[in-house]
Amino acid sequence: MRTKYLKTLNKNGQLFYQLEHPKFHAEISQFGGQLISFKDESGVEWIWLSSSAKLDGSAPIRGGAPICWPWFGPAQDNSLPQHGYARRLPWQLLDCEGDDERVRIRFSCQLDQAPIDLSNLSLIIEYVLGDDITINLHTENLTEKTLNLSQAIHTYFNISDIYQCKLIGFEQINYEDKLASKSGVHKHPLSISYPVDRVYLDAIEKIEICTDESHFVVSGSGYDSVVLWNPWKEGAEAMGDFDNDGFAHMICVEMANTQGLQVGSHDSHTLTQQIKRI
């Protein structure tokens, strides 16, 4: 079912779903099934997208809210791509319904197009968009074996100035620092002025991303970790699809399962990220 709020657009041979609702405007790419824009009713963009992101299906989209699945980070077999296949596959629209308050839209990942066997798994994403954003990622295991999974909703938040950004919620949580290959914990809200790539090993209930202009509150369910990433200047410059100054306007806060999630045979799991702006 389609609503009056939904339009489709073809660009570079790719399909994009545009939602134009009195409370928000949003765009979702069929490739990767990922949200690439969400503007609230005052026109403020919540989601960062690199202006040099590839939007032609040739590579994962740099920005938005990519889905890392069925693994997060490097694959055990290093011939397979980082962060799995979901962000590299087309997704099929299942349904879309809406009213004056919100729109709910669902897509199914076309796992049969993956170069590895993901048959008898189902991956569905549901966006509920209105005054805020809810992303539900449903994995269903229809095989006879337990599925070992890692995953993340890898949201790039659009912020005015990383130098003014304060992150609240990570205090006292053990983290693994991927850049320094060490673990740690910090006592105070975090301000960053250097590359950060950390996995905080807890289902932190609430993260706040505060700048002078924006205050995002991020929560969810079904995760065991929260990943924090900003490549900083040199890291951004080293990536062909990352605006050189983009690091100053984004921060990734990712609800993730990194500690060995198991989905039993004929069982399912839902990972949720909710984003509010206050």
The residues in 41-70 that bind ligand G6P, with binding defined as CB under 6 A, are 60
Size of the site for ligand G6P (CB under 6 A): 9
- Using H for helix, E for strand and C for coil, what is the string for 200-246? ECCCCCCEEEECCCCEEEEEEECCCEEEEEECHHHHHHHCCCCCCCH
User: Distance between CA atoms of 66 and 259, rounded to whole angstroms?
Assistant: 20
249 tagged catalytic: no
- Using H for helix, E for strand and C for coil, what is the string for 255-274? EEEEEEEEECCCEEEEEEEE
User: Distance between CA atoms of 224 and 30, rounded to whole angstroms?
Assistant: 28
Closer by beta carbon to ligand G6P, 5 or else 229: 229
The residues in 165-184 that bind ligand G6P, with binding defined as CB under 6 A, are 178
Q: Which of 199, 181, 204, 184 is nearest to 274 (CA)?
A: 204
Catalytic residue among 83, 154, 249, 269: 154
- For the bound state, the minimum distance from the C-beta of residue 252 to ligand G6P, rounded and expressed in Å, comes to 5
Single-letter amino acid, residue 191 = S
- For the bound state, the minimum distance from the C-beta of residue 238 to ligand G6P, rounded and expressed in Å, comes to 10
The residues in 124-143 that bind ligand G6P, with binding defined as CB under 6 A, are none
Q: Contacting ligand G6P (CB under 6 A), which of 82, 148, 193, 259?
A: 82
* Residue 259 engages ligand G6P in binding (rule: CB under 6 A): no
Whether 82 has a binding-site annotation, put simply, is yes
Provide the CA 255 distance to its chain's centre, in angstroms: 8
**Range list of H helices, the chain:** 232-238
Q: Contacting ligand G6P (CB under 6 A), which of 27, 40, 132, 197?
A: 197
Closer by beta carbon to ligand G6P, 114 or else 128: 114
* Residue 207 engages ligand G6P in binding (rule: CB under 6 A): no
User: Distance between CA atoms of 20 and 105, rounded to whole angstroms?
Assistant: 13
Q: Contacting ligand G6P (CB under 6 A), which of 53, 65, 227, 271?
A: 227
* Residue 27 engages ligand G6P in binding (rule: CB under 6 A): no
254 tagged catalytic: yes
- For the bound state, the minimum distance from the C-beta of residue 99 to ligand G6P, rounded and expressed in Å, comes to 35
Whether 87 has a binding-site annotation, put simply, is yes
Single-letter amino acid, residue 204 = I
Q: Phi/psi class of residue 57: alpha, beta or left (left: φ > 0; alpha: ψ in -120 to 50)?
A: left
* Residue 252 engages ligand G6P in binding (rule: CB under 6 A): yes
Query: Please, which residues have CB within 8 angstroms of residue 181's CB and are 6 or more apart in sequence?
Result: none
* Residue 83 engages ligand G6P in binding (rule: CB under 6 A): yes
10 Å CB burial of residue 30 (0-12, 13-18, 19+) is: buried
* Chain residues that interact with ligand G6P, rule: CB under 6 A: 60, 73, 82-83, 178, 197, 227, 229, 252
Give the annotated binding-site residues for substrate. 62, 82, 87
Active-site residue list: 154, 254
